[in-house]
Chains A and B, each alone.
Chain A
């Protein structure tokens, strides 16, 4: 959209452009470059260069296998299993979060009732909780003294807990994914053309058909994009897994372990690069679909 096309009097604006000399393009791009310079310098010095070094370092020999760390990841069962576990868990969490929060988000977007604001607030506030706090909340639910343990002690005289297993990670990841999906789904539903639904209904579609054929396809890009964001967030969620203190083999914990426990820098670097590439692809996919949402990680 150019300036002229928005003004009712195209002629007048082109006249004014002739009177007021526009900035020469070269000077304009110089200004833009100077304005970008400080941010780019900091970015290059503290991210681009260090990360490039990390990529190179990942090609160095791994401390235990003696071959390039990237190759070691591809050829050793333990790393492949950890990679598969992390990807699988993140994928299942994203699916579950999109399904659960999709229903709730659509409901909240389409109905007005007393107390709705409170519900929306409680569902979206945990968006900015860091992973450590989410981990602690999972302990509150399913830890040794958690809610489930207390209830099961009281009912069956047994202590049930899930916090320190894959289920705990699943619940934690679900916890920080739901608010992300809800906000996106609500915004997408607001933008959806309601006349399409009415048209479908007037043509005799029942509400299940409307949901399946009009609403879900209509918000599908938003659902896919928010799912991809949840996937990327779950892949890199170190804080939650760290707080739960599980012995589970997932990528972020592996990276931390290789670095601090074994000082195996090549392997830590290679795993970080692999993880970074996966989350970057997922987020690029999300942005292609939805445009603007950056998605704050935990």
Chain B
């Protein structure tokens, strides 16, 4: 009887925490879909605000997608070899290099952005282009790709597999593309989902690096929160959630996939 009571109390507490997480999201979604939030649901449901957000901010959404995909491409191109290099290096070196690559995540985005601005801000062309933001995103997401790929590489018995391939006469490139890459696909997938999600949601670096012509989705969000009516900010948030929640579901699914392999 006593343990039943304890169970109910803990369940109640957990439900309260859940409410704390969910209520503001639900309110925001509702506000984005009601005609007039101050009057409430009585004023009727509408997609008017979503439509308005699309007209005002669709370019920020496209830029964010473009950035996320470019960032993904670069982190795969340099991150997968880097993970392989770490796997192959002496442990002490590997640890030191990993620690270094992690610095842009360990240090607040604001500091990274400031460093980039003060070092490269005077190159006008570069400063004004979306590539400037891309640099920040790559620095910030690269460790997640490297970490995800490396952890799969470490469990996949790559050295043995590679040795087997080498004994059959496979060259380095053959081994890399036929043995290494296919064996860490689940890691690349997990890393890719993480990179895209982080890049789409990145604000701290992007806010410092953006120009009026290179606004990303989170920058647009901050803009709408500050200067638009509540319904528009909410509708914009709704669009963001619709983009990010599927990615989050996929991340959990991929995480379960890699866990099963272990």
Please list the residues of chain A having a beta carbon within 8 angstroms of any beta carbon in chain B: 3, 19-20, 22-23, 28-29, 31-40, 42-43, 46-51, 53-54, 57, 100-101, 103-104, 107-108, 111, 113, 119, 121-133, 135-141, 145, 147, 175, 178-179, 207, 232, 235-236, 238-239, 242-243, 245, 252, 255-256, 259, 265, 268-269, 272-273, 275-276, 279-280, 283-284, 292, 294-298
Contacts and interface: CB of A to CB of B under 8 A. Distances in A.
B105 A297 contact: yes
- Which secondary structure dominates where chain B touches chain A? helix
A133 B221 contact: yes
B85 A32 contact: yes
A140 B24 contact: yes
B57 to A, nearest CB: 14
Nearest to B115: A50
- Interface size class, chain B: 35 or more
A111 B72 CA distance: 38
Contacts of B90: 29
26 contacts: A20-B163, A31-B85, A32-B85, A42-B138, A43-B101, A47-B103, A47-B139, A103-B10, A104-B13, A104-B17, A119-B14, A119-B15, A119-B18, A121-B252, A122-B21, A124-B252, A125-B245, A125-B248, A126-B21, A128-B248, A137-B25, A242-B207, A272-B110, A276-B107, A294-B143, A297-B108
Nearest to A36: B85
Nearest to A235: B108
Contacts of B1: none
Contacts of A127: 248
B207 A276 contact: no
Contacts of B60: none
Contact of B78 (A29, A42, A232, A259): A42
B21 A43 contact: no
A16 to B, nearest CB: 8
B185 interface: no
Given A245-B226, A279-B106, A43 B139 contact: yes
B118 A130 contact: no
B13 A273 contact: no
B179 interface: no
Contacts of B85: 31-37, 39
Contacts of B197: 128
Given A48-B100, A53-B115, A239-B204, 9 more contacts: A33-B85, A47-B103, A51-B115, A101-B17, A122-B22, A137-B24, A239-B207, A259-B114, A294-B144
Contact of B120 (A50, A126, A273): A50
Nearest to B221: A132
Contacts of B100: 40, 43, 48
A179 B251 CA distance: 15
Contacts of B18: 119, 122-123
B187 interface: no
A175 B23 CA distance: 12
B38 interface: yes
A236 B172 CA distance: 43
